[in-house]
Chains A and B, each alone.
Chain A
Amino acid sequence: MSDPVVVDRVTKRFAGHTAVNAFSLTVPRGIIYGLLGPNGAGKTTSIRMILDIIEPDEGVVQLFGQLGGGRALSARIGYLPEERGLYRKMRVLDVLVFLAEMKGVERRAAKAKALGWLERLGLADWRLRRIDELSKGMQQKVQFISTLLHEPELVVLDEPFAGLDPVNAKVLKETVLELRRRGVTILFSTHIMEQAEKLCDELCIIARGRKLVDGSLSEIKRTHAGRHLVVGFDGSAGGAQQVFADMRLVKKVDDYGQYAELELAPGADAQDILQQLVASGARLSKFELQEPSLHSIFVDMVGPEAARPAVSSDVEGAGA
């Protein structure tokens, strides 16, 4: 069976800039796939192109091996956009039935499924209430339901954890894991690396509209392993600072006095640093080569300006 999502060198330009540049991506079936990037990297634009909400200027998107575009296959896709909202004046049940109908579910079936979901998430008593009578947390739950009601094979979540209260974040995390168990493919975007690290089987890091790296989490970690070093001192740091300042050995240092995190310079050997530190008279309590966190890999690749958007755009639709 073909991969649920294959993006082949798509490019999207907006008025002043290129939001997504020759971007490719393959999401295999049945995994949790993370699309990682700072704000303004082109995540939302990529997702919108995958879902056929906007058309790419160049390149093609294949879903389930078909070229037809996401709209034609929308019955098999669930989508939770970054900016959330529901019809404020509509009743909960009516909203769910309507959105399911948009996905091609027959009206009566939609109603039965919606009631089941409301029951499961403890909202059954609210089914005839208007959306604007619900608390924010309840509205978030209703929106999850609307994303999953039609039992999609592919679920696309844009920044799903943004703005969630802790209870709902947990509900969402468990739901995502449950979906994977049932063989559903999940593609989600985030700029919070800790979440991606815990959830993703595979991921792709994107910045300024370009892909920087992709692959499985363990693979990416392995290729970036051994470059990070944690050093702890026992009282005297000796001449450690001179060692850290040596550009041939150390690329970057985060020095806390009694504790330091180092990134090795290209080609440098951790053993050289150890020898030099001992020679400088430093008393070491800790010397450890670390598996890098996704966060540090991310910062490495994207650079210190990662937090800032690539282009300040007046078109918000082109952002993220």
Chain B
Amino acid sequence: MRKVWAVIRREFVERVRSKWFWVSAALGPVFLAALVFLPILFARSGGRARIVVVDGTATSFGVRVADSLRFTPVFNVMARSAPRPGLLDSLTQEVTARTLDGFLVLTAETVETGVAEYRASNVSSQREISELKGVLARSALNARLERAGVSPDVVSRATLQVDLRTKKISGSKTSGESSAQSFSLAFIMSILLFMTIVAYGVNVMSSVLEEKTTRVVEVLVSSIRPFQLMLGKILGVGSVSIVQFLIWGISARILLTQRAALSGGVSVENGGSGLEWPQVSAATIAVFLSYFFGGFLFYSAMLAAVGAMSSNEQEARQAQQPVIFLLMMAYLSIWAISSDPQSTYSVAISLIPFTSPIAMPVRWAASMVTTTELVTSFALLILGIAAVTWVAARIYRVGILMTGKRPSIRELARWVRA
């Protein structure tokens, strides 16, 4: 056991000492900071669309719309002008010259027909359009009700805004996670899981390959069992990934708790609009970490075998492709999962060990997962790890001493049976 420990320590120390570890440790928080601060920066610099309201109404409707728009965080109403010949053309020119972002055209019929026109350089912003629609609908409703003799007081009470708060139900308890948060959480998770499993799995592979090409392995296996050596490597590289996550986690925590201060007082509610920052429950963290380590063990055992059966970098890169594709399948299916987490497909890939390390945490974040499903999925993953490790260890044992051409599938099968 002391020898396994020495292997773990060597893998750990050598990796943590390398500059690549610190580069990626630093890049994580930089990436995260970009995710946090870029939307704030964008929001600050001209995040509000500068528009003009062309008011063709004879009533107070135009005034009301313009005022309401001023209260939204999205629009900056520069002026409210009555229509006159040539106005639309000159406004269009201003938009082209980028001194204006757009203009809203209200006619006398807008209240009745509900038809208005918005011309702008960018009409694909969901946020602007939905805000605009909401303001118009509310204002038109108010105007119609008032015209029908309903007192403004009643109208204002009747049109009190509804605020729909979405909360995910996981198990029997309601969590603090909202649906938008669930999605961004699932999204971030799947990227993190995919990237780290691949990165650290490939680390195990190249470590195996290094010992093979330098022939150090021959000295090693004369004093330690091949299985112990493989285990030590996987655990050593795995513990490096833990440290990496710790660094990322702590820096993320600092960034998120301090972001109001760090972003110079810009209102966070309005600013952080790109991705909503998730409220992460302890259960979610536990699921995420369990599946990360499960997935890492599962895939790094496979990649260790790939390293053992290859005799140089190029060969290994080729041979790793099928393994990476398996994981890629899970990664690409996150869209399917988040759009329908309960479909047969989503449930199936969250149970199969090849895809569950990514699929299950994403499903967990996006919807309700029954305890039975979670337990089954994790049990299958553990069984899968045992099976993959067993096969990988047998390939590893023979492969590390082989040089020359890469073994065929038939030869590999013989190694496993031997």
Contacts and interface: CB of A to CB of B under 8 A. Distances in A.
Does B bind A? yes
Interface of A: 15, 48, 51-54, 70-71, 74-75, 77, 79, 81, 83-90, 94, 98-99, 101-104, 107, 146, 314-317
B216 interface: yes
Interface string B401-418: 111110000010000000
Interface of B: 2-3, 6, 10, 13-14, 18, 210-211, 213-216, 218-225, 401-405, 411
A316 B223 contact: no
Contact of A103 (B14, B211, B213, B223): B223
Contact of A314 (B222, B225, B405): B405
A71 B10 contact: no
A88 B214 CA distance: 8
Contacts of B18: 89
B225 A71 contact: yes
Nearest to A313: B404
Contacts of B216: 85-87
B222 A74 contact: yes
B231 to A, nearest CB: 14
Contacts, number: 76
A314 B14 CA distance: 34
18 contacts: A48-B218, A51-B222, A53-B221, A53-B222, A71-B222, A71-B223, A75-B223, A77-B222, A79-B219, A81-B218, A81-B219, A87-B14, A90-B14, A98-B6, A98-B10, A104-B223, A315-B404, A317-B403
A85 B6 contact: no
Given A98-B10, A101-B2, A84 B215 contact: yes
A80 to B, nearest CB: 8
Contacts of B213: 85
A75 B223 CA distance: 8
B219 A102 contact: yes
B402 A315 contact: yes
Contacts of B224: 71, 102
Nearest to A143: B219
Contact of B210 (A87, A107, A317): A87
A101 B403 CA distance: 27
Given A71-B222, A79-B222, A103-B223, A85 B405 contact: no
B6 A53 contact: no
Contact of A74 (B10, B214, B223, B411): B223
A89 B403 CA distance: 22
Contact of A101 (B3, B13, B222, B225): B3
Contacts of A75: 223
A316 B6 contact: no
A146 B218 CA distance: 13
Nearest to A81: B218
Q: Which 3 A-B pairs have the closest CB atoms?
A: A85-B214, A74-B223, A101-B6
Contact of B403 (A48, A74, A79, A316): A316
Nearest to A70: B222
A317 to B, nearest CB: 5
Contacts of B401: 48, 53-54, 317
A316 B212 CA distance: 13
Contact of B223 (A81, A94, A102): A102
A317 B14 contact: no
A81 B215 contact: yes
A134 to B, nearest CB: 13
A64 to B, nearest CB: 15
B222 A104 contact: no
B402 A86 contact: no
A48 B218 CA distance: 9
A107 B9 CA distance: 12
A75 B3 CA distance: 12
Contacts of B220: 102
Contacts of B402: 315-317
B218 A53 contact: yes
A102 B6 contact: yes
Contacts of A88: 210, 214
A104 B3 contact: yes
Given A88-B214, A89-B14, 20 more contacts: A15-B411, A52-B222, A53-B218, A54-B401, A71-B223, A71-B224, A74-B223, A77-B222, A79-B219, A85-B214, A94-B10, A101-B6, A102-B3, A102-B223, A314-B404, A315-B404, A316-B403, A316-B404, A317-B401, A317-B403
Contacts of A87: 14, 210-211, 214, 216
A302 B210 CA distance: 38
Which of B10, B220, B225 is the most central at the interface, judged by chain A CB atoms within 10 Å of its CB? Answer: B10
Contacts of A146: 219
B219 A99 contact: yes
A83 B14 contact: no
A312 B215 CA distance: 22
Contacts of B14: 87, 89-90, 94
Nearest to A72: B223
A94 to B, nearest CB: 8
A5 to B, nearest CB: 14
Contacts of A83: 215, 218
A103 B221 CA distance: 11
Nearest to B14: A90
A74 B6 CA distance: 16
Given A79-B222, A315-B404, A86 B214 contact: yes
A4 to B, nearest CB: 15
Contacts of A86: 214, 216
Nearest to B223: A74
A85 B215 contact: yes
Which of A77, A79, A314, A315 is the most central at the interface, judged by chain B CB atoms within 10 Å of its CB? Answer: A315
Nearest to B397: A54
